[in-house]
Amino acid sequence: LRRTLAEAGIDNPAYEARLLLAGVLGIGLPALALRSGRPLTEAEAATLEAFAARRLAREPVARILGEWEFWGLPFALSPDTLVPRPDTETVVEAALARIPDRSRTFALIDLGTGTGCLLVALLHECPKAWGLGIDRSPGALATARANARRNGVAERALFAASDWAAAVSGSFDLVVSNPPYIASPVIATLDPDVREHDPMAALDGGADGLDAYRRILDEAPRLLRPGGHLLLEIGYDQGESVPRLAAGLPLAIEEVRPDLSGNARCVALRRI
């Protein structure tokens, strides 16, 4: 399998082969490493062959497996949800850096929740916090609800449909969002793994990629308690354009935080 994937030009053939095999066996990678050399059953071999064929047709491994890990937690995917990216963990880190006492009660809202990964990861870290996950896609909301249940935070998580925060009232200590931020003309140039499998509503940020930020920054002062924080994931080249949109709003820019590759990834703002 590794060789077939390598010959097809897949980037990480050994890693992907292990992930697909672990998926067939219904175990994690650590368990796969310890597994004795039992041959695959006929059914397992057929499933692996089907998985390989899908991968060779450029379907991402996450889509084939139907779930992906984020912040060490499992998240089910659906055609309506983005695959959670490791870069997005930068937003979780930036949020936790602003929560000195994780055992206190506070309220957070995740705008464009998708799989629910940001909200669920933060509720998992902060056992007395509660949160609202917003998305415009009913399919994404159903998946996010299931993920909250699966990760044991459902009793502190609510999910609701809204066009950004238009249908939301109330105030929050923390607003997080990873909105669509790819400029529409750039979408055609994206890798087919992304362009053909992630939902367009999760990618398309309008003509200059900044449409969602304009909306969210306008709504944030109303949503945030004084001293509350807004954390926005941004594209690698938006470290100046997104903070600029906050000019004139009662929001102070605290930092533009890089991801593990050193790219600008998260803008942190505080309600003045």
Ligand X SMILES: C[S@@+](CC[C@H](N)C(=O)[O-])C[C@H]1O[C@@H](n2cnc3c(N)ncnc32)[C@H](O)[C@@H]1O
Q: Under the rule (CB under 6 A), what is the footprint of ligand X?
A: 82, 84, 88, 112-115, 117-118, 134-137, 140, 163-164, 178-180, 201-202
Cβ 195 to ligand X, closest distance in Å?
14
In whole angstroms, give the CA distance from residue 208 to residue 240: 13
Shorter beta-carbon distance to ligand X: residue 46 or 161: 161
The backbone region for 266, taken as left when phi is positive above 0, alpha when psi lies in -120 to 50, beta otherwise, is beta
Please report how close the Cβ of residue 119 comes to ligand X at its closest, in angstroms: 8
Residue closer to ligand X by CB (options 13, 114) is 114
CB of 9 vs ligand X, minimal distance in Å = 27
Of the pair 48, 82, the CB lying nearest ligand X is at 82
Q: Which of 94, 146, 161 is nearest to 125 (CA)?
A: 94
Residue 271 token pair: 């309600």
Least distance from C-beta 50 to ligand X, angstroms?
27
**Shortest gap between Cβ of 132 and ligand X (angstroms)?**
12
Of residues 24 and 137, the one with the C-beta less far from ligand X: 137
CB of 131 to ligand X, least distance (A): 12
Which CB atom, from 5 or from 156, has the smaller least distance to ligand X?
156
Residue among 51 and 164 whose Cβ is closer to ligand X? 164
229: buried, middle or exposed (CB in 10 Å: 19+, 13-18, 0-12)? buried
| Residues 54, 28: Cα–Cα separation, whole Å | 20
